[in-house]
A and B are shown apart, each in its own frame.
Chain A
Amino acid sequence: MLAGVTVFAAAGDSMLSHGMKQAGNISLHHLQSVILAVLNPWVAVGILLLLAFFASYMNALSWADLTYVLPATSLGYVLLALIAKFVLHEQVSPLRWLGIALISGGVGFVAGGPALTSHAHGEHAPAKDEARDRAVAVSSGVDS
């Protein structure tokens, strides 16, 4: 699921940026050019991919914390850089490799922790803890 978020976001963003460069500068005085930009096929496909990204992002947010989902999905930047290096044969500078390492490190940090720490209604969280405490008490009771 998180992989889907990553891939759709990376592909969508790169297509959008390609399309907007073709569409040219947008002036505040010609707002209708924003509408015209949407008709550019690159921008249109980019928007479709971003919709797919949105669906998988919403799905991830339904069972995990925002501060868990965001770093996990930032692997998309790493994916973009790797595509640039191995598919487009672009030069990836040492600074960018350092950036990739930092992002991967950050993702590693958050992936080791719990996916969900909050609840929509704060008052339910203690109940959950109580349930766990009860389970622990029961299991330790069985042990003794």
Chain B
Amino acid sequence: MKHLYTWGAILAIVLASVIGDILLAHAMKQVGDIHALWRRSGLWSVIGRILTNSNFFFGLMAMTVAFFSLLFALSWGDVSLVAPAAASLTFIGNAFAAKIFLHEKVDRRRWIAAVLVAGGVALLAG
């Protein structure tokens, strides 16, 4: 039963993380390059622009869900299973989601990188 809880929490982490990452990445592209914005109109303007972006808000909510799912998963399962499993599945999920929703050009180079990193992260648990 504990095993089932652990994997359920891992799945929740992956889903929430992917949704959060996509929303946050989209929000930051809407805000624009922070360095240029900071130089042009100051730090408070940058912070104000980020905090009033609705995608950022929803992304943050998703990340909060992912964070608490991580706390639950860590209390049920070993960190050596939870962290790599969640991280490597999130990598693959993000590559798909970034291609579909953010229209990033995920070329062969980036697919290989995503798979290598996901595999490497999984191996680190061994």
Contacts and interface: CB of A to CB of B under 8 A. Distances in A.
A96 B126 contact: yes
A29 B71 CA distance: 15
B117 A74 contact: yes
Contacts of B103: 118, 122
Contact of A118 (B31, B91, B102): B102
Contacts of A102: 116-117, 119-120, 123
B12 interface: no
A141 B34 CA distance: 36
Interface in A15-50: 16-17, 20-21, 23-26, 34, 37
A67 B33 contact: no
Interface bin, chain A:
35 or more
B123 A66 contact: no
A40 B32 CA distance: 37
B112 A109 contact: yes
A108 B26 CA distance: 25
A142 interface: no
A99 B29 contact: no
A63 B35 contact: yes
Contacts of B45: none
Given A20-B75, A25-B76, A74-B91, A65 B98 contact: yes
Contacts of B122: 99
A34 B75 CA distance: 10
B34 A63 contact: yes
Given A106-B117, A112-B109, A67 B24 contact: no
Contact of A103 (B22, B29, B76, B116): B116
Contacts of A113: 107, 109-110
A75 to B, nearest CB: 9
Given A66-B102, A67-B98, A117-B104, 10 more contacts: A23-B75, A62-B34, A67-B94, A74-B121, A77-B120, A77-B124, A96-B123, A100-B120, A107-B113, A120-B29
